[in-house]
Structure 1
Amino acid sequence: TAGGLTAVSLFRADPAPAPPAVQPQPQLQPVAPGPTDNPLVAKSSFGWLPEEVTGVEYAAGGHGDTTLAIGRGELPPMLWLSVSDREPPAPRDLSGEPKSIPQRVGDRDGHWVTADANDPLNHGDSYLRWPTADGRWAQLHAYYLARPDLQQVLVRVAEGATFANRGVPLPLRIASLPPSFHLSDAYTSRRPDQDGVPWKLVLQYSANGALATINVAPPGAGRKDGLGVPRCVKKNGLEACVGIDKEKAAGITAQELLSRITLLGTDESKWTAHVLSP
């Protein structure tokens, strides 16, 4: 009764105030490992992209794992997609104190990171972050993309992105690599205005202090990445070149490594995610 409650309150100290509610932190779910027979494993993938984008580039290795949607022109639009176990610190090139502006991404609460509290798009150098379904943090960084509906476009790109380790289909097979070969960097480029060809692939391996570089592209590419005198072959509409700066240390010559490569042609639907044979 009310009287009973009053009587009890006379003999019992006021209860301590309830502690503030703690928002549960999402638990990281284990991410399936990437394939071991592909040197270029993407951790993030785009879904829908605006028409300004003409290609998607991937990179893995010592310089980081990135997925980049890119357009054409002297200052091509660029949309960088990445994922990390926890939210990264504020971008280094952000001028001023970083501000966080809430933004819903699908069914998740994300936010823009900006130096201007009145402009979530940060004057066209835009950062959108949101938690993924497996408890990690995704980031979309966009610049040189100008359109009246930019904010809605970037949210739509973010909503279509997926995050899982996936072997990127590549235009070659490699019969085998020496056990001393360790991947340094792997990347694709889709910058015809810069490279002189629609795309190129570069694989770099370290081996006992030597550097081995494989370049694959349609014939006509400008400079080749890597060190050493390249050995090249043209087949199935593609050119492959191998350079090794210290063949003795690597335990294989550039010509021997080149002979282990099979080129799959220019039809990207015929490329393979299973690149390396044991």
Structure 2
Amino acid sequence: MRDQTDELTRELCELAASPAPGSGIDVARAVREGRVRLRRRRFAALGAVAAVAAATAAVTLLPSGGDRALSPAPAATSATPALDTNPLVVEASYGWLPANFDDVSYVPDHGRTVVRADGKVPDDGGLAPIVWLGVYPAGATPSTGRLWYAGGPRQYRVEAPPVEGRPAYWVGKSPTTAEAPGGDWYLRWQTADGRWAELRAAYLQRADAQQILHRIAEKAVVARRAIPLPYRISKVPAGLRLTEATFVRGQQMLPGEHVPWSSSINFQVDGMYITTTIEPDLPESVKSSADADPKTALTRPTCIREHGLELCTQSLNGVDAYRTVGGPTTWLKRFTLLGTDQHDWTTHVLG
């Protein structure tokens, strides 16, 4: 917990001091980290954070992915109906990750979705490695030359071996140093469809970090797909605007929580935000002790439990946010929970 707090503090300070981000992935790293860690017990406030992030969005589209055990469910079809009716659609997937990476989370960033792959905590007790995969939109060419942060070093393009025969480079802190400030790594390469992809790594404290990232890039699959989710929502009222959806697991969970995964979906209505979470229904004594926090009393969620899942909704605006949907309980009745077996989850979420 102390490591996470120190990391977040450092990132917020750097973000505040920086006139512009180095890349789309870095743009809201501090916001993303804080937002995901505080997801469940303070998640009603996150809608406002998401709105600010969307208003200041950079151009990077950060995809997610994971194949084999990396995905939260079997690979989804990329058929158009699934892409149109799923709130969690990604632009690329990991085809390979090192064996010590076992958690992949799908989280929002500037109205897009990012994939974060978390590694295991090293034996020496240091920070666990993290990798992000991103793809820039068609026609957007990432640049170098700006400062990493106010008063810091410039970004430099440092040539890298081609990725699948196409141009690639590191974004480094000197003309001959491929590593970025703080021990981070950025690898960019041009994809088969002409767009630029980017890998970022943090806390990858290994001598072969460059080789690892190059192999991840070689195996990455750039293709849109919808992520299967454990619920469906019927007849979403026209007044509600989807702002973000998530699926998080492992180290992306709020410290103190012990559920294996959690999914959430946020809507905006009349300037207010409604957040609904879905996660395994476990005894509170096992799952969390956060309910004892008196600061959450004014925004206590409304919950139902079915098919081994817990479905909760709340808003910092209270019941006023639910006028359009008939109240919190009526809103939850629009959800169909699909159980804990990930093979039963669906890519057709919004009915």
Shorter-normalised TM-score: what interval? Answer: 0.7 to 0.9
The within-5 A match list for 1:1-278 is 35-60=83-108, 62-73=110-121, 75-85=127-137, 86-90=140-144, 93=148, 95-103=152-160, 104-122=162-180, 124-192=183-251, 194=255, 195-218=257-280, 219=282, 220=287, 228-244=299-315, 245=318, 246-247=320-321, 249-277=323-351
Higher Cα Rg, which structure: 1
Assess, with a 3 A threshold, how the Cα gap between structure 1 residues 251 and 270 changes in structure 2: closer, same or farther: closer
Assess, with a 3 A threshold, how the Cα gap between structure 1 residues 100 and 155 changes in structure 2: closer, same or farther: same
User: Matches of 2:224 and 2:218 in 1, distance apart?
Assistant: 18
**Preserved CA contact (<8 Å) 1:52 1:77:** no
Q: Post-superposition shift, 1:191?
A: 2.9
Assess, with a 3 A threshold, how the Cα gap between structure 1 residues 66 and 92 changes in structure 2: closer, same or farther: farther
After superposition, what is the alpha-carbon deviation per residue over 1:12-42, rounded to whole angstroms, capped at 9, x for unaligned?
Answer: xxxxxxxxxxxxxxxxxxxx97712111111
Amino acid of the structure 2 residue aligned with 1:241: C
Q: Post-superposition shift, 1:114?
A: 0.4
- Report SS of the residue matched to 2:350: coil
User: Matches of 1:258 and 1:248 in 2, distance apart?
Assistant: 11
Higher share of residues assigned helix: 2
Q: Unaligned regions of 5+ residues in structure 2, if any?
A: 1-78
Give me the TM-score of the superposition, normalised by structure 1: 0.78
Q: Post-superposition shift, 1:58?
A: 1.3
**Preserved CA contact (<8 Å) 1:42 1:59:** no
Amino acid of the structure 1 residue aligned with 2:263: L
User: Matches of 1:274 and 1:223 in 2, distance apart?
Assistant: 33
- Report SS of the residue matched to 1:130: strand
After superposition, what is the alpha-carbon deviation per residue over 1:81-102, rounded to whole angstroms, capped at 9, x for unaligned?
Answer: 1111323344864641222122
**Preserved CA contact (<8 Å) 1:42 1:60:** no
- Report SS of the residue matched to 1:105: coil
Give the fraction of aligned pairs with identical amino acids, expressed as a percent: 36
- Report SS of the residue matched to 2:167: strand
Q: Post-superposition shift, 1:201?
A: 0.9
User: Matches of 1:231 and 1:169 in 2, distance apart?
Assistant: 24
Higher share of residues assigned strand: 1
- Report SS of the residue matched to 1:159: helix
Alignment coverage as a number of residue pairs: 245
**Higher mean C-alpha displacement, 159-168 vs 247-256:** 247-256
**Preserved CA contact (<8 Å) 1:40 1:60:** no
User: Matches of 2:193 and 2:228 in 1, distance apart?
Assistant: 25
**Higher mean C-alpha displacement, 109-118 vs 125-134:** 109-118
